[in-house]
Amino acid sequence: MRRRLAEHGIDRTLLLLLPAVAFLVVIFLYPFGYGLVLSFQPERYVGVFANYEHFFADPFLRDTIAITLGLAVPAALFNVIASVPVAYRMRGAFAGKRLLIGMLVMPVTLGTVLIAKGLLTLLGARGWVNRGLLELGLVDDPVRFVNNYWGVLLTLVITGFPFAFLLTLSYLGGIDPMLERAAATLGAGPRQRFWQITFPLLLPGLAITFILTFVLAFAVFPSAVLVGEPAGETRVISIVAYRAAYEQFDASMGSAIAMIMGAVQLAVVAVVLGVRGRLYRGPSGGGKG
């Protein structure tokens, strides 16, 4: 066996990848392939592409793409931009660093539903903030902080920032601090060192961070229902996919919408990776980080 593998130039240690490959096929590739095939088998319409034609012909369904992008892109951008100064200031060692990092990443452990419940308690029509404003006489009626676009966006920021922060912190940890020190000895100020040394090296990592936080935000569902307006301005694409599959009992249409979700995400990822590849070149001038 070893000789046969060696004769074909195959490293036998690669066989250790087989369990991982099998797991990937069972958990991801098979469900994806099944859903893709099912999407071309309409239950209520005629034609192989009827589900897709119906989706893009119906404004109620088609507009969910723009609505979801309108939530996911700003949330991902804000999380990436906000994570940079916070992670940059926390590169060095200082007292209470671990405690502060723990507090920043705590929303990951809470979950979307619990965070949405907390926002309703804090910012809802009968929440603490509105009660305080009414008691102080600053407003006559409760301010609508949630059950709208801004409530969902705030939830996506709270749940997505910890991931962006941890990723940015890890990328910054991979940048040699001696580069900034060398620039300082040449007279470069803090801003020059950041924008001319650190930021260009960090930029490829920020692109990957944006992709991961965008994919996380694009799949928004619980918060769009709990702290949003699921029949209006937060009618995201995941909601119509759920309704098609589990309320209208049209698994084929639900699968088609899920495929469209994946296609939109892949399109955004491809654009970001393309821009990343053009903006960043390795030390040799042609490599990509």
Segment among 39-43, 95-99, 122-126, 239-243 with least mean pLDDT? 95-99
Planar angle of CA 143, 149, 77, nearest 5 degrees: 125
**Each residue's pLDDT tens digit, 97-134:** 888 888 888 888 888 888 988 999 999 988 999 999 99
Mean pLDDT of the chain: 87
**% of the chain surpassing 90 pLDDT:** 54
Query: Which H or E run contains 237?
Result: helix 237-242
Question: What per-residue confidence (pLDDT) applies to 8?
Answer: 58
φ and ψ of 190, to 5 deg: -55, -45
| Model pLDDT, residue 1 | 53
**Stronger pLDDT, 283 or 30, i.e. the higher one:** 30
Q: Does residue 6 surpass a pLDDT of 60?
A: no
CA distance 45 to 164: 42
Q: In the prediction, which pLDDT does 55 show?
A: 96
pLDDT at 2: 54
> HSE of 123 in the Cβ direction (CA atoms, 13 Å)?
18
**Smallest Cα–Cα separation from 163: which of 113, 221, 205, 222?**
205
Q: Confidence class of residue 287 from pLDDT cuts 50, 70 and 90? A: very low
Distance CA 83, CA 151 (A): 20
Mean predicted confidence (pLDDT) in 222-246: 93
d(CA 259, CA 277): 26
Tokens of 39: 């999407």
For residue 9, what pLDDT is reported? 60
pLDDT in tens, 143-175: 999 999 999 999 999 999 999 999 999 999 888
Confidence band of 89 (pLDDT split at 50, 70, 90):
confident
235 closest CA partner among 152, 143, 115, 160: 152
Residue 60 pLDDT level (bands cut at 50, 70, 90): very high
**pLDDT reading at 20 higher than 90:** no
**How far, in Å, CA of 24 to CA of 10, rounded?**
21
**pLDDT 10s digits, 178-193:** 888 888 888 888 888 8
CA 60/CA 54 separation, integer angstroms: 11
Q: At what angle do helices 112-123 and 128-135 cross, to 10 degrees?
A: 10
Tell me the pLDDT band of 286, cut-offs 50, 70 and 90: very low
DSSP 158-219: HHHHHHHHHHHHHHHHTS-HHHHHHHHHTT--HHHHIIIIIHHHHHHHHHHHHHHHHHHHHT
Indicate the burial class of 221 (C-beta count within 10 angstroms; 0-12, 13-18, 19 or more): middle
Q: Cβ distance 277 to 75 under 8 Å?
A: no
Instruction: Tell the residue number behind the tokens 């066989």, with chain if given.
Output: 15
Q: Nearest to residue 225, comparing CAs of 215, 235, 213, 216?
A: 235
Lowest mean pLDDT among 75-79, 89-93, 120-124, 127-131: 89-93
Q: Is 252:34 a contact under the CB 8 Å cutoff?
A: no
Q: Output the pTM of the full model.
A: 0.84
What is the CATH superfamily name and number for domain 58-279?
MetI-like (1.10.3720.10)
